[in-house]
Structure 1
Amino acid sequence: MNHALAIIFTTLSLLKMAVAEEEFCSAPLIVDSGSNSKHLYWKVTNPTLSPSHLQENSLSGLPPYDAERFIFVVQGAVTLTNVSGISHKLTVDSYAYLPPNVEHSLKCDGSATLVVFERRHASLENQPTEQIVGSTDQQPLLETPGEVFQLRKLIPTSIPYDFNIHIMDFQPGEYLNVKEVHYNQHGLLLLEGQGIYRLGDSWYPVQAGDAIWMAPFVPQWYAALGKSRSRYLLYKDVNRNPL
């Protein structure tokens, strides 16, 4: 069974959805002016995803029925509140997973830019998922035998969860040691740095702000270029029969 994946860049009070007809969606070239005041992922949000007319004090809506939601904060901060009134402040590099049909709201006092993944949950009987709130730096580095990149997983790998979100870091010059082929469909957003990405027989120069979708069984490979770390946020189907 195929499940549609929506990758939504959300600046609260304005919703922008990026839908790629092709496999690769490129951000516009951004010139670094050398300012020290830029936030961590400024290339992802500047200038196309953070227009100056955005209003503050915005409140989110809910996803469609039976859709689970994952939120990752790229810029600013938001407050997540559930139906019990329990609130969590999410700042840059913080994230939350919301099970399907769970009442919640997201509110920001100033502008905030989020990456939001939503998909219809492939539920299993007596295997419910739970709300998760965390941050990237709280997650342990996992072993990557035969590889040099650093890997963190933001969602539990247990059976109830039908997708995962990875944070993958490459230092300049590092690359995947093998050309990978997966039955999973993938989607990623490059948060930092630049590099070269292979999809099938095509090669794409990529930079922070670029989004890539990888169909099942498409050969893929990445190498980090430039002078700074590459980091990308990766979506991956797991724990379900791909058919």
Structure 2
Amino acid sequence: MRTIFGLLLLVLGLFKYAFAQEGFCSAPSESKSKPLYWKVDNPTLSPIHLQDLPGFTRSVYKSNHALISPESHVYGPLPDWINTLGTYLISPEMGSHFVMYLAKLKENSKSGLPLPGVERFIFVLQGAVTLTNATGVSQLLKVDSYAYFPPNFEHSIECDAPATIVLIERRYSPLPNHIPEPLVGSTDKQPLLETPGEIFELRKLIPTSLAYDFNIHIMDFQPGEFLNVKEVHYNQHGLLLLEGQGIYRLGDSWF
């Protein structure tokens, strides 16, 4: 089971749960005919399952958490983006201190910039995108690749074929004498970290230095594995299940 996970303010995590042959993990894909991470934006409950329940959804919206499943995704134009549609998974209007959304880029698409003072993290879910900075230097990002842009960093995200990315943005909290640098990387290039008391696999995509005011985690769980710690704290999470399935507790409810 693989997920993208965000824990804001001190830690922002990116979970992933297991895995197709195109990915860096060795566990088999759920379907060889489907691309890696196809579940991110495709309902897994087909219409035939819902003939007697046309209004059914797993989505919930509470005062301190929300679960937005693919059947509840509503796409619309993103401000200043070209040939791109987006759907918001979490936003400050829902009580979070960050924004997390999916962007579907079509042919000849191009991104807009975050608001002034806002940092951005992107992770490629499908297809490939080209990143270009203000000096004209370009890099190609494929599935499982990611990038971080400090606030007010000029850049563009473009592609000439359809692609899907997830973005996390938040207003940067600066510290004197600590300046974040832009990052580009790939999940499979990040080392596995020790997880005392736990048995899942953990990778971090953003340095843990004070220059960065959040973290991105990749967490991989094999069947039967689970998170042992029961987290109760002020820090906020943004999580995206990429592959597999599992049970997750939020507040007093199990989903």
Q: TM-score, normalization: structure 2?
A: 0.63
Q: Deviations over 1:86-123 (max 9, x none)?
A: 11101000000001001100001111100000100001
Distance between the aligned counterparts of 1:98 and 1:183, measured in 2? 25
Gaps of 5+ in 2: 1-7, 10-29, 44-69, 76-84, 86-103
User: How far 1:54 moved relative to its partner?
Assistant: 6.9
Cα 1:135–1:201 change in 2 (3 A) is same
Aligned Cα root-mean-square deviation (Å): 2.2
Secondary structure of the structure 2 residue equivalent to 1:180 = coil
8 Å Cα contact 2:130/2:138 also seen in 1: yes
Structure 1 counterpart of 2:32, from 11, 36, 39: 36
**How high is the sequence identity, in percent, across the aligned residues?**
72
Secondary structure of the structure 2 residue equivalent to 1:186 = strand
Which amino acid letter does the alignment assign opposite residue 69 of structure 1?
R
Which amino acid letter does the alignment assign opposite residue 79 of structure 1?
T
8 Å Cα contact 2:109/2:160 also seen in 1: yes
Secondary structure of the structure 2 residue equivalent to 1:124 = coil
Aligned to 1:119: 170
Secondary structure of the structure 2 residue equivalent to 1:137 = helix
Alignment of 1:162-173 (within 5 A): 162-173=213-224
Larger RCO: Structure 1 or Structure 2 (Cα < 8 Å, ≥ 6 residues apart)?
2
Q: TM-score, normalization: structure 1?
A: 0.66
Which amino acid letter does the alignment assign opposite residue 162 of structure 2?
S
Distance between the aligned counterparts of 1:168 and 1:117, measured in 2? 17
Distance between the aligned counterparts of 1:198 and 1:35, measured in 2? 27
The question of 1:86 aligning with 2:130 is answered no
Which amino acid letter does the alignment assign opposite residue 208 of structure 2?
T
Distance between the aligned counterparts of 1:67 and 1:178, measured in 2? 31
Cα 1:140–1:110 change in 2 (3 A) is same
Aligned to 1:110: 161
Aligned to 1:46: 42
Runs of 4+ in 1 over 2 A off after TM superposition: 34-37, 45-51
User: How far 1:190 moved relative to its partner?
Assistant: 0.6
User: How far 1:71 moved relative to its partner?
Assistant: 0.3
Distance between the aligned counterparts of 1:125 and 1:86, measured in 2? 29
Aligned to 2:245: 194
